[in-house]
């Protein structure tokens, strides 16, 4: 009898523990859409309060984490592109929103664009930055995204939207949005895809370019 009671308590405790882990993970929503290869996929997503970030998980080995964001408005375009409007932590009296598009190709999650779409003073109502996006849409056998009067094109190899190219040359100081420690990196007249002359895609990662500084917009969940 004691053994049976112990087993029941163990099972109940395990279930409660698993439920607690699930709720803490922030996976309270699911998105059904298609990969770029037209295969059905499901991505779980939600807010991770421990690290103040939004998590997107295709499987335990394939995740994206968007730092300093909470709450997302979700739209699906062309059945393959997930548009996310995310709330960010701003300064006093500021409302900040981030615009992110994710897609899936060959079992891998891609962050196709990652930009600030709105910075607004909640007291005065004045916006320092407000970009309206339309799309993505298929046009002339290509995929385009209209953003604030600019047309962004989709790179099928890199799986990103970009406006043009920017050449980096010389020494830049590189940090991440999780670690302010700066490291020097030397570039030798190499061109990289860029959006709004500010968000640049270097070696499969998005960065914010400001003068001679680069801040990586991290996607890893470690």
Q: What is the mean pLDDT of the chain?
A: 84
Domain presence at residue 197: no
Q: What is the reported pLDDT for 92?
A: 65
Instruction: Name the domain count of the chain.
Output: 1
Q: What is the pTM of this model?
A: 0.83
Residue 147 CA: distances (Å) to CA of 59, 80, 101, 104, 196: 31, 19, 13, 22, 9
Query: Whole domain around residue 49: which residue ranges?
Result: 29-142
Residue 21 has pLDDT above 60, yes or no: no
Residue 190 CA: distances (Å) to CA of 165, 168, 170, 206, 207: 10, 6, 10, 16, 15
Confidence band for 90, pLDDT divided at 50, 70 and 90: low
Domain presence at residue 196: no
Domain presence at residue 127: yes
Peptide bond preceding 128 in cis form (omega within 30 of 0):
no
Residues 6 or more apart whose CB falls under 8 angstroms from that of 90 comprise 96, 119
């Amino acid at each position: 009898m004691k053994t049976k009671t112990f087993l029941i308590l163990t099972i109940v405790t395990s279930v409660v523990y698993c439920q607690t882990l699930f709720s803490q993970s922030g996976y309270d929503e699911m998105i059904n859409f298609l990969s770029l290869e037209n295969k059905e996929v499901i991505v779980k997503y939600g807010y991770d309060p421990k690290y103040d970030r939004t998590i997107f998980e295709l499987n335990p080995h394939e995740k994206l984490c968007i730092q300093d964001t909470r709450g997302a408005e979700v739209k699906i375009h062309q059945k393959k592109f997930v548009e996310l409007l995310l709330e960010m932590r701003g300064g006093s009296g500021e409302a900040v929103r981030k615009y992110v598009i994710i897609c899936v190709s060959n079992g891998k999650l891609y962050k196709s664009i990652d930009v600030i779409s709105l910075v607004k003073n909640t007291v005065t109502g004045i916006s320092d930055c407000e970009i309206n996006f339309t799309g993505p849409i298929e046009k002339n056998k290509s995929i385009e995204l209209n953003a604030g009067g600019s047309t962004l094109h989709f790179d099928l190899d890199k799986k990103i939207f970009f406006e043009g190219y920017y050449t980096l040359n010389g020494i830049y100081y590189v940090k991440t949005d999780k670690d302010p420690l700066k490291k020097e990196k030397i570039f030798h007249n190499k061109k990289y895809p860029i959006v709004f002359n500010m968000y640049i895609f270097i070696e499969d990662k998005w960065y914010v370019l400001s003068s001679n500084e680069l801040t990586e917009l991290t996607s890893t969940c470690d």
